[in-house]
Structure 1
Amino acid sequence: MPKKIIRDSIPRNAIRMGLCVQVLLILLILSAINYISFNYYWRADFSRNHRFSLADQTKRALQSLNQRAKIYVVTSPTTRATESSLYQDLRNLLKELQLTAKGNLSVEFVDPTRDPIRARTLQTRLKYGDNENLVILEYNGESQFVKMAEFGSFDFSPVSAGRPPRLVAFRGEQILTDAIISLLSPGRHKVFFLVDDGEPEVSGPNSQLSTVVDYAARQNVAIEPLRLGALNAIPAEADAVVIVAPRFDVSAENIEKLRKYWDQGGNLMVLLDPTIRTPVLNKFISSLGILPEDDRVIRSVPAGFKTNIDRAVRGRFLPKAEPSKRLIGATAYFPGNTQSLTLQPQTSATNHLQLRPIVQAEEGFWGERDYNRNFENGLQYDATRDIGYPVVIAASAERDGLKDERVDVQSAKLVVVGNSEFAMNRWLGGTNATAANLDFILGCLNWLIDRGNLASIVPKSPTYFYLNLTNAQLREVAFNTIVAIPGAVAFIGLLVWLRRRK
């Protein structure tokens, strides 16, 4: 009898041990899965307009944080202010920023109505006014204050009908990224735009460059006009000097001042207008390794029985140039007249320059030298005279610089673009054709002032899509959802029931 008990107990103990081992293995596997998913996760945004995806510039700004940054959101979710509609979007954005910063960013929501002591303590330390809905960024002893209302663009037309304002676009990522960049570079950079020779004004109601000025200011870059003829030299505080579409050639005296500035490690950017002859300016640029060609970049487009000329140049950004390597995949768009550029290796070797093409025209474009002739008899590329593929539209030159972007070495830099029209306000919109223009200009400015690690795509405001239906369409939708679809299901059910009865 005892032997039988022993034989029966052995399998039971084995089963118990097996179950314990299985439970332990399952717990171990679940713990391992939980650890891996918590530390090595992958996130995807499947929303229609990728409203939860962070721009590359935002990610790079967060990666540049070398110590913990803090964000305080001082507002109440129950406030009746217009900006209360931004609260949930802001909360989602800050969550994404925290995940990307990987521990270098903390966020605290301070509700003055529920926690007045904490709100008063923060107000005493940071010294801001009462009854303000604010987002405060702190980093390395510096602070940035942003009003909640600035995070959204509102349509106030419904107010006249007694309805609340309608949120048109949420601009939170753009504003927070600009604030982080300002904290990373607390000293305000100065970029001077020459206005001696009929260049567009950078300020005033009729300025064609106001979009560039506004976006640069958000990145802690102050753009100011410079009348070089009234000065003996370029101001010492100039981080860069920009020449945009001069109506007249630059004087020899001003060229000498620009050359001296370059020799002392200055940074230059020149946006050329091909319709204006500037031999003195072109000679100066050529001496720095980039030759502006006397041509027009065009391509022929078949149109039935005739051939049209396409002067709106589309180009691609090249990966080896610092201002453009983070714009790979975007399309460069240059309206109006464009001239090509030729890099001169012999000048590069003599002056210790690193020359790089930034933008290259798409295949099919060429540099037409005989651009003043009548094209009624046809348009054809002449391999003996014209500039063939690849056609360079923008290029950079750097003297005494290092190729490693992690090492910050003061070096003279130059950016030349064979077009200036693309920088005007009307070509800096949000359409697919011109979306990269603003990114390109700001990327060049960031590179010139030694912020190349931030020379990437500017965060854009997400677009909201609205479905506008007429009364007839609304009636059709109502009929289909209330009558047609349920009726079809009922009819099919009736057919099935009748077949079963038979």
Structure 2
Amino acid sequence: MKIVAKKKLWKYLFWLGPFFLVAGLTASLISSYWSPISLAFLITGIAVIGIWIILQIQNNQWLGSRSTQAGTNALVATLAVLIILGLINFLGVRYHYRADLTETQLFTLAPQSQELLHNLNQPVKVWIFDVNQNPQDRDLLENYRRQSSKFQFEYVDPDARPGLAEKFGYKDYGEVYLEYQDKRQLVQVVNPENERLSEVRLTNRLQQITTANAAKVYFLQGHGEHPLTAAESGMSQAIQGLTDKNFTTSPLNLAEAAKVPDDAAAVVVAGPKEALFEGEVQALEQYLNRGGNLLLMIDPGTDPKLENLLKQWGVTLDSRLAVDVSGQGAKQGPAVPIITDYGQHPITKEFGNNISFYRLARPLQINPVAGVQSTPLLRTKPYPNSWAESDLQSEKLEFNADKDLKGPLTLGVALEKKLPAPSSTQPNPTPSPLPSPTTQGQATPKASISPTPSASPSPTPTATPSPTPTTAAPLNNQQGEKPATESRLVVIGNSDFATDGLFQQQLNGDVFLNSVTWLSKQEDRQPLSIRPKEAKNRRLNITAAQANLLTLSSLLLLPLIGLVSAFLIWWRRR
């Protein structure tokens, strides 16, 4: 009797061992250190388990009993499950995978943002001066941090850390700052009501602060081009978009300057209504021949006298009007081509099947030219949805097989031309004129053109005789860069799409910003334009009667159907 009672006592005393063991481990994990109490629990638990095992071993029948084998198998299986779960959790923390199942990928960073973060060479940190941490803003910042270990963020209470707030020039709650090396820049001011942290702004500011030099873009003026201010048909939104992407912009009057400045990363000719002087056209040709980059946006019904320049690149401006009758669903007239077909080019590679539109556009004819690579950017739908209309006076647009051109039509094209390699015996530029004759389209050495406008009262650029293009010094737009090895040209048969009011609609602004970015050869150093992501509106607009019907059906009709069905089943079984 005593032996049996002793065995039962140790059987129950055994469970004190795991209890004390778990209690000691839990106490140490909660307190984050090994206190005397947690150590005492841990040692007691191990001692009780050890004594129980020793007593059981002394019993010869214990090792061979069926209960011991079953218990051992259960213990091994439990340990195996715990080890597997531990490995799964370890791999889950080390190598995580997130799936964004939303239609517009609301919780996934744009490819441009991801590329920028992957290319970070130095640590960058976002400071949010706010006492409240908005979950949406924090999720966005976590997405950034997952892409690069060099990206960090921190929420700061400005009242608790006034020194840090003063260092950043803090003024109000919700200010978000970006810090990179010794640079600090305000990103935006967020508030819990209607202003959340924007991926577009954060990525653009991140690009600005990590870029050493800002590329300069000149806008040709003096021929009725769109103004750069917020005037009627102005381009203030486009200018702001370039500023956000770390470009600097300036107007350019070639009738006075006589030459495109050497620091020009790109020149934009936006909708000239009057013809350019011959000297201005020659200045643009010389700029291209020495590695310049030009964006021409030419509206129908205008003649800027750029035929000779475009002919060298294989582009012809069609005098007809692009007609698209497929935009009835968008309530657009036939003179507003809607584009969803984009070429495989860095400017448009991320556009997919999204929309851009162009009010009153002219088609472009592309002819192959040796040494020039062309890629159509904007193409209309095939005939009969689109064609080039020659009769602009008719109120009813109909296709005329004798005069009109069947679609698809090209409304925009990107072109590249390799520059000839400079001669190894190229002479050093000197202020004295060179004896070689001047010909149209040849490059001009930097020192051979008068830098002051007063040197040339006429609109024709005054240039001293220049060497042949093979010995011209290519542009070097940024300090420390190699001379340009190619020139780039983008031609679009419309300029209205980049003006205020239309710039921010659909992909219109992206077409303009991406074109300038590619022309300035900045596409490798900064992301092309990205669009803010918005959730699709899936709400149902129903009347009050429909709402009452849904309420009655869900609260009364459906439960009643369930009760009747249950009663019928019960009755049949009975």
TM-score range, shorter chain: 0.7 to 0.9
Deviation at 1:259, TM superposition (A): 1.6
SS of equivalent residue, structure 2 residue 362:
coil
Deviation at 1:222, TM superposition (A): 2.4
Equivalence for 1:68: 123
Counterpart AA for 1:312: P
Equivalence for 1:218: 244
1:123 pairs with 2:165: yes
Deviations 1:248-283 (A, max 9, x none): 1111111111122222221110011121123x2122
Distance 2:413 2:390 in 1: 23
Equivalence for 1:448: 519
Distance 2:549 2:323 in 1: 54
Change (3 A) 1:252 1:498: closer
Change (3 A) 1:28 1:248: same
Equivalence for 2:89: 34
Change (3 A) 1:287 1:110: same
Deviation at 1:60, TM superposition (A): 2.6
Moved more, 451-460 or 244-253: 451-460
Equivalence for 1:156: none
Counterpart AA for 1:488: L
**8 A contact 1:171–1:460 mirrored in 2:** no
**8 A contact 2:177–2:184 mirrored in 1:** yes
Deviation at 1:375, TM superposition (A): 8.4
1:398 pairs with 2:416: yes
1:111 pairs with 2:186: no
Equivalence for 1:419: 494
Equivalence for 1:291: 316
In structure 2, which of residues 185, 189, 198 is the aligned counterpart of residue 148 of structure 1? 189
| 1:73-472 alignment, distance < 5 Å | 73-77=128-132, 87-99=134-146, 101-113=147-159, 116=160, 119-123=161-165, 126-129=167-170, 131=172, 133-149=174-190, 167=194, 170=196, 172-278=198-304, 280-299=305-324, 311-319=336-344, 321-346=345-370, 348=371, 353-364=372-383, 368=388, 370-372=390-392, 378-381=398-401, 387-388=405-406, 390-400=408-418, 410=484, 411-430=486-505, 435-453=506-524, 454-460=526-532, 462=534
Moved more, 287-296 or 178-187: 287-296
Deviation at 1:129, TM superposition (A): 3.9
Distance 1:28 1:253 in 2: 80
Distance 1:248 1:210 in 2: 22
Deviations 1:314-337 (A, max 9, x none): 241111x22112223323322223
Distance 2:81 2:519 in 1: 57
Deviation at 1:290, TM superposition (A): 2.6
1:488 pairs with 2:522: no
Distance 2:91 2:548 in 1: 48
Deviation at 1:15, TM superposition (A): 4.1
Change (3 A) 1:488 1:424: same
1:56 pairs with 2:111: yes
Deviation at 1:466, TM superposition (A): 10
Counterpart AA for 1:123: A
Change (3 A) 1:262 1:372: same
Distance 2:541 2:300 in 1: 48
**What RMSD in Å do the two structures reach over aligned CA positions?**
3.7
Distance 2:116 2:186 in 1: 18
Distance 1:64 1:94 in 2: 17
More strand by share: 1
Change (3 A) 1:387 1:10: farther
Deviations 1:13-59 (A, max 9, x none): 65455445433443343244334433444323345765433333322
Counterpart AA for 1:412: S
**8 A contact 2:215–2:265 mirrored in 1:** yes
TM score, norm. by length of structure 2: 0.67
Distance 1:266 1:314 in 2: 28
Distance 1:110 1:131 in 2: 12
Deviation at 1:339, TM superposition (A): 1.7
**8 A contact 1:301–1:310 mirrored in 2:** no
Deviation at 1:221, TM superposition (A): 1.6
Distance 1:139 1:451 in 2: 20
Change (3 A) 1:300 1:448: closer
Deviation at 1:449, TM superposition (A): 1.9
**8 A contact 2:145–2:151 mirrored in 1:** yes
Change (3 A) 1:64 1:386: farther
Change (3 A) 1:328 1:493: closer
SS of equivalent residue, structure 1 residue 144:
strand
Structure 1 or 2, whichever has the larger Rg, is 2
Counterpart AA for 2:310: I
**8 A contact 2:113–2:527 mirrored in 1:** no
Q: Number of residue pairs matched?
A: 445
Counterpart AA for 1:53: T
Deviation at 1:74, TM superposition (A): 1.4
TM score, norm. by length of structure 1: 0.76
Distance 1:209 1:97 in 2: 32
Distance 1:488 1:374 in 2: 61
Change (3 A) 1:251 1:439: same
Q: What are the ranges of 5 or more consecutive residues in structure 2 without an aligned counterpart?
A: 1-58, 420-480
Change (3 A) 1:479 1:455: same
Change (3 A) 1:262 1:478: same
**8 A contact 2:317–2:362 mirrored in 1:** no
Moved more, 441-450 or 15-24: 15-24
**8 A contact 2:313–2:369 mirrored in 1:** no
**8 A contact 2:327–2:338 mirrored in 1:** no
Distance 2:196 2:226 in 1: 31
SS of equivalent residue, structure 2 residue 138:
helix
Deviation at 1:224, TM superposition (A): 2.4
